[in-house]
Amino acid sequence: MPLLELRQVTRRFGDFTAVDHVDLAIDAGEFFTLLGPSGCGKTTLLRMIAGFEQPDEGQVLLDGVDLADSPPEARPVRTVFQSYALFPHMSVEGNVAFPLQMAKTPAREIPKRVAEALEDVRLTGFGRRYPHELSGGQRQRVAIARALVTHPTMLLLDEPLAALDAKLREEMQIELINLQKQAGITFVYVTHDQTEALALSHRIAVMNRGNVEQVDEPSKVYRFPKSRFVADFIGQCNLFSGTVAARDGGIVSIAVDALGTVRVATPSTIAPGTRASIALRPEQIRIGASQGDTASDNRFRGTVSDLLYMGDVTVYRVRTDGGAEVEALLANSQTGRAKFFEPGDAVEMDWPAAAGHFIED
C-alpha cells in the first residue's frame, strides 16, 4: 500500500480548475517531486496534502486513511515553506522547539531533541541566534530542522531553494538528498526547476494545467517523455511533428514539414497517415562540417544561424536546407572538436533512429 494516495483529487477556484482529477500514489521513503510551470496546480496539490486546501472532489489518503476531516495541525505531515516562515520573535532554538511544545513533548526532552535536529542540519551553535541574524541558507536549514524535529511521516517542500543563489542551491540539493536518505522520511517536493527535479527525485510527476502528464523516474521522464509538453518542459528538446509515412520493423518514418523524412525507433503500431511527433534531445545529434559517406538513419544539411556559448557546452541553432530549425549541442571538452562553428557555417547533422523518441499526438 502506498503511504500517500490521491484519488481523483480536484480543486477549483471559481471557474478555474487548479487541480483536475489527479491520481497519485507516493511510497514510503520516496523523494517525490511535483514539477511544472507556475499555475500548473502543484502548490495547490501540496496544500491539499498539508490540509490548507480542501479538495472539491476526490480523496487524500495517508496510510489508507482519508484525511478529509483532519485539519493541518492534526496531520503527521510537515511543510517547508518557500519563504521559510520562521517565527521572527523566537530564536533558532525557539523555532525548532515549537512543534515539540505543540506535541506536548516533556520539557526536559526538548533541549536534547532541538540539539539533535540542529546537528542534523549542521547548525550546532546557532541556537541562540534570531532568524534575522542568519543567512538565507541557514534560515532554510532552520526551517528544515523545525519540520523534521518531530519525525513526521512526510515532509512537504514548496520550492524551498527558489530564494537561494545558484551555488548555494546546488549545495543544498546535495544536503537535501543526504538528509532524506538519513531521515528515511518521504519527501514531496514542489518545483518549477526541471534540473532540480531531475537531480533530486526518485520519481517525478510532471504537471500541466492541473493534470499530471507523466509520473516516472527522472531518466525516463527525460529520455521517454509521454507528451509533447513533457518533452518540451524537461530540458532542451527538438520536437518534430508530421504524418506517419511508413512503419517497418520497429522503425517509423515520419514526414516532417520543412525537414523531410525522419526515422525513429518505436514499438508503436501506429497506422500510416496519423499525426505524430518525435522528441530529439540536442545532445543526441552529431554535428560536423561533413559526416562523410557513412550510412545514417537521419542526415540533414543546414547552416548555423545562432549559437549559445554556455561554457561547458555550446548550443547551435541550425536552419536546414528545407527551412526547419534544429538545435544541436556540442560538448566543448571533446578533443578533435577544437573548431567551433560560426553563424553562417554549413554543417551536417545526423542521428540514429534510436536517438529520437516517438510521441503519439
Partner 1 sequence: MATGAREAAQARGKWLVSGPPILYLLVFFAAPTLIMAAASLRTPGEFGGLAPLVDEAGKLDLNFDSFARFFTEPVYLEVFVKSVIFATATTVLCLLIAYPLASVIATSPKRVRSLLLLLVILPFWSNFLIRIYAWMIILGPNAALARGVNGMLAWFGAGPVPLLFSSFAVLVCLVYVHLPFMVLPLYANLEKHDPALLDAAQDLGAHAWQRFWRITFPLSLPGVYAGAALVFIPALGIFAIPDLLGGPNDTLIGNLIKQQFLETRDWPFGSVLSIVLTVAALALAGLAAWFGQRATRARALVDA
Cα–Cα distance list, 213 to 229, 231, 234 (Å): 8, 11, 12
Nearer to partner 1, 109 or 171 (CB): 109
Among 97, 164, 234, 278, binds partner 1 (CB under 8 A): 97
Among 11, 42, 78, 203, binds partner 1 (CB under 8 A): 78
Where does this chain touch partner 1 (CB under 8 A) — which range of 68-76, 179-187, 309-317, 338-346?
68-76
Calpha distance 303→317 (Å, rounded) = 9
- Interface with partner 1 includes 79 (CB under 8 A)? yes
Buried b (16+ CB within 10 A) or exposed e, 278-292: bbbbbbbbbbeeeee
Nearer to partner 1, 116 or 345 (CB): 116
CB atoms within 10 A of CB 103: 9
Nearer to partner 1, 101 or 195 (CB): 101
Where does this chain touch partner 1 (CB under 8 A) — which range of 91-99, 208-216, 279-287, 345-353?
91-99
Work out how close the CB of 52 gets to partner 1 at its nearest, in angstroms, rounded to a whole number. 6
- Interface with partner 1 includes 13 (CB under 8 A)? no
Work out how close the CB of 125 gets to partner 1 at its nearest, in angstroms, rounded to a whole number. 13
- Interface with partner 1 includes 44 (CB under 8 A)? no
∠ CA 17-18-22, rounded to 5°: 95
Calpha distance 79→144 (Å, rounded) = 9
**Interface size with partner 1, residues (CB under 8 A):** 33
- Interface with partner 1 includes 71 (CB under 8 A)? yes
Nearer to partner 1, 103 or 338 (CB): 103
Structure-block grid coordinates of residue 327:
538545435
Residue located via cell numbers 496510510: 63
- Interface with partner 1 includes 68 (CB under 8 A)? no
The site map against partner 1 for 169-198 (x = CB under 8 A) is ------------------------------
Restricted to residues 119-158, the positions that interact with partner 1 (CB under 8 A) are: 127-128, 130, 146-147, 150
Where does this chain touch partner 1 (CB under 8 A) — which range of 16-24, 34-42, 93-101, 323-331?
93-101
- Structural contact between residues 81 and 43, judged by C-beta atoms closer than 8 angstroms: no
DSSP one-letter string for 4-72: EEEEEEEEEETTEEEEEEEEEEE-TT-EEEEE--TTSSHHHHHHHHHTSS--SEEEEEETTEE-TT--G
DSSP one-letter string for 159-222: STTTTS-HHHHHHHHHHHHHHHHHH--EEEEEES-HHHHHHH-SEEEEEETTEEEEEE-HHHHH
Where does this chain touch partner 1 (CB under 8 A) — which range of 26-34, 73-81, 180-188, 294-302?
73-81
Residues in touch with partner 1 (CB under 8 A): 50, 52, 71-73, 77-79, 81, 83, 85-91, 93-95, 97-99, 101-103, 114, 127-128, 130, 146-147, 150
